[in-house]
Structure formats: structure tokens, C-alpha cells
Amino acid sequence: MKILHTADWQIGIKAVGLGAGAAREVREERFRAAERVIEVAREHAVDAIIVAGDVFEHNGVDRAFVQRTADIVSAFEGPVYLLPGNHDALGPGSVWKHPCWGARANLKVLTRREPITALGAILYPCPYVRQQSDGNPLGWITPQDTDLPRIGIAHGSVEHPVIGESYALIAKDACQSAGLDYVALGHWHSFTPYADSKGVCRMAYSGTHEPTAYGERDSGQVLVVDIPTRGAKPDMVRVPTAGLTWLEMSRDLRTRVDLERLCRKLDSVPNPDRTLVRVTLSGILADGAGDILRHIESIVATRFLSARLDTRRLHPARDGEWVSRLPPGVIREAAEVLCAKGQSDGVAARAALELHALAMEELG
């Protein structure tokens, strides 16, 4: 059986903090990425698509989003198996109560923990019936003597539960203990494979089909997984589906050259109108580097789909030439105090940068 494994589409994501225009584009791109998922499924001639949880951001998303999602995935010629996750769990008011799911024969919402024999394999779905779920979602599955490949579909955390959250905990050896050939995982947004005791990868997070935030190290793709026979090693191929790039840059500055390198890096980013960027600067703004910083601020403010520049931990040199060039008196004393406090105080660091910029305009 050849499947396309994907998860965590988060349709209806709010994308707060990006600005209204960028947030709308991020939400829209998730639909385009879903369309690309269908294209990949066709190109690779998979037997079925499996979406391992969190198709939607929450159960209160606009019902037009639900209908549109169903329209997109129902265009695939084969079955599409959709697992309710912790974001879109089953229950009163669930997105899975919408009539669109029953209107399309190939859409299979996995609402029960019971085996499904289909397309020459046995599927073992583990849906969420409420937002919080304790225990191992695969715990109900036991080894079985069969010639058919056995595929688990689960949503949760492998061995590392998040403190303060009650997500399902999945053991690393879940495949072996349950006698499964593959487990399609959802919940974490970066691609993460897990090998069994023989070094064979039989369990993986596909990563979300479109990145959702900065810091996701390996998202924006789907997995095409071929399991030809019971016990065979799954053949796993990663296929990119992302349309937007989330770029994060952190630099600890010491010299003007450091800032010049960052400027060239930002200048060379391809497709900036399809890129969201977050730049974090720390360290020392060298004497004479204020013009480079202002150019970077201009690039960040005007070139990208969304951008954020954090200079709270960047401060001018405490004993820099610019301070000594200030006229004696209150202004120089303020500069000295702000530069000293800016080593540990973000507000003071920002004030020192502003004073530095004004001083450079006056002093030339």
C-alpha cells in the first residue's frame, strides 16, 4: 500500500502578530498547500491520503473554511482518511459534524478506535474525542497474525509530553509493541522519523504541509510512504509542498562587518514577497555602523510579506567614540547611563540606540 501521510494543516490559523494582510495570506496559503498535496498524491499514484490530525486550527473556524477544505480533498480520486486531533476533536460543535463530510464518498472521517480493512491493508485510527487526551493513543492495538500491512494513525507526543499540557504520550517502540508496519503521526510540525530496534523507520511525523510559525526546523512537506507487504521496510519519500518561507535570523554583533554580512544576506533573500522574516540582533552596534542598521530597518519594513526586527538586546558601544564626541553635559551623561544599563535592560538599550542615531545625524 502506498499512502501520502500529512498532518497539522491548521486551516483557519489566526497567525497573530504578522499584520492583517500577512495573516490573511498565511491562511490562504494553507488552502493552496492542500491543493498541492492533492497534486503530489496524483503524481506519486498513492492509494490513499492520510491526514493525521489537526486539519483545522480549532472547532470554531468559519464553516466556509470547512466546506472549502472538503471540496479540495474530495478532488482526489482515492480515499482520504481524516483524523480528528486535539485542535479539532470530536464532540458537540465539532467541525466533523458538518454535512460536507458525508456528502463525498471518498472522505473518511476516522471517528472510532477500530480497525479498518481497506486497499489491502489494515488501518488503526486513534481519533481525539475531546481536546485533552491522556494515555497512549495506540495502547488499544495488539499484535495480530495477518498478511496485510498494519498502519496506525495517531496524534500525540512521542515520549516527550509538554509540561502543563495533557497530550497523548506515544512510546518510541509503539510500532514493535503493537505489531504495526508504520505509524503516521501528527501533532508536531517538523518532520521527525523514529527507527525501531533494527534501525528501520516505521514511525514518523510528516511535518505540516505549510509552515505555521518561526522556528519550525523542518516543515512544509508531505511523506509518500510505500509499504508493499507485511513486514517490509517502508519506503519513505519527502515531497515539499510549502508556498511561503518563514526565515529566522539571529546575530550577535561585534563589528561593522557583522552587520554588513547580515545586510547582504537580507538583500539576497529570494522571493521576499513570499517570505516572512524575523531578525533578532544582540551584542554591540559598532561605531559608524548606524547607517547599516538603518538600511536593514528599511529592508525589513518594506520588502517582505511580513517582517520583524528585534533590537532589544543590541546596544551601542559603551565606550564608543560617539559618546566621547558628545558635548559635555546632560546628553553625554545620559548616553553613558543608557549604554551601561543597556547591557541588561532592553528598554535602555533601545533608548541608547535612538540616542546614538540622533547623535550620528548631528555629529555626522
DSSP class of 55: S
42 phi/psi in degrees, rounded to 5: -70, -45
Q: What is the mean pLDDT of residues 150-161?
A: 86
**Strand bridging mode 121-125 / 150-155:** parallel
Confidence of residue 315 (pLDDT cuts 50, 70, 90): confident
Residue 362: the pLDDT is 52
Q: How confident is the model at residue 114, as a pLDDT?
A: 96
- pLDDT value of position 34: 98
Residue 224's φ and ψ, nearest 5 degrees, are -100, 115
DSSP line for 211-246: --STT-TT-SEEEEEE--STTPPPEEEEEE---SEE
pLDDT of residue 326: 61
Q: Where are the beta strands (DSSP E) in 7-142?
A: 48-51, 80-82, 107-109, 116-118, 121-125
Q: Which residue has the higher pLDDT, 266 or 134?
A: 266
Going from the C-alpha of 329 to that of each of 25, 319, 322, 326, the distances in angstroms are 51, 16, 14, 9
CB 4 within 8 A of CB 222: yes
Q: Give the three cell numbers for residue 98.
A: 458538518
Query: β-strands 306-316, 80-82: how paired?
Result: unpaired
Q: Which amino acid is at 199?
A: G
pLDDT at position 339, please?
Answer: 61
Taking the CA atoms of 321, 327, 331 and 333 in sequence, report the sign of the dihedral they define: positive
Q: Which is more confident, 61 or 321?
A: 61
Longest dimension (CA), the chain: 87
Cα distance between residue 272 and residue 249, in whole Å: 14
Average pLDDT over residues 256-264: 92
Is the CB of residue 6 less than 8 Å from the CB of residue 48?
A: no
Judge whether residue 335 has pLDDT over 90: no
Q: pLDDT at position 136, please?
A: 83
pLDDT for res 358: 59
Domain boundaries in the chain? 2-240, 245-363
Place of cell 500500500: 1
| Strand, helix or coil for residue 284 | strand
Q: Residue 362 carries which side chain, given as an amino acid letter?
A: E
Report whether pLDDT(322) > 60.
no
Question: Which residue did the predictor score with more confidence, 15 or 81?
Answer: 81
In this structure, which CATH number among 3.30.70.100, 3.60.21.10, 3.40.30.10, 3.30.1370.100 belongs to the domain 2-240?
3.60.21.10
| pLDDT higher than threshold 60 for residue 212 | yes
With CA atoms as reference, report the closest residue to 167 among 159, 176, 175. 159
Please determine, for residue 346, whether its predicted confidence score (pLDDT) is greater than 60. Answer: no
In the predicted model, what is the mean pLDDT of residues 175-197? 93
Tell whether the model's pLDDT for residue 244 goes beyond 80.
yes
Interval 73-117: pLDDT, tens: 999 999 999 999 999 999 889 999 999 999 999 999 999 999 999
Give pLDDT, residue 353.
57
Mean pLDDT of 331-353: 60
3-state class (DSSP) for residue 21: helix
> What's the pLDDT band for 329 if we cut at 50, 70, 90?
low
Paired strand residues for 251: 281
pLDDT at 166 over 90: no
Lookup: cell for 147:
498478511
pLDDT of residue 288: 72
Residue 159 has pLDDT above 90, yes or no: no
Helices marked H in the chain — which ranges? 20-43, 63-73, 174-178, 256-267, 290-302, 321-325, 330-341, 346-363
Nearest to 321, CA basis, from 256, 253, 252, 251: 256
Chain centroid, CA 97 distance in Å: 27
Query: Which of 9, 127, 119, 13 is closest to 72 using CA atoms?
Result: 9
- Whole-model pTM: value is 0.86
Average pLDDT, the chain: 88
Higher pLDDT, 270 or 357: 270
pLDDT band at 46 (very low <50, low <70, confident <90, very high): very high
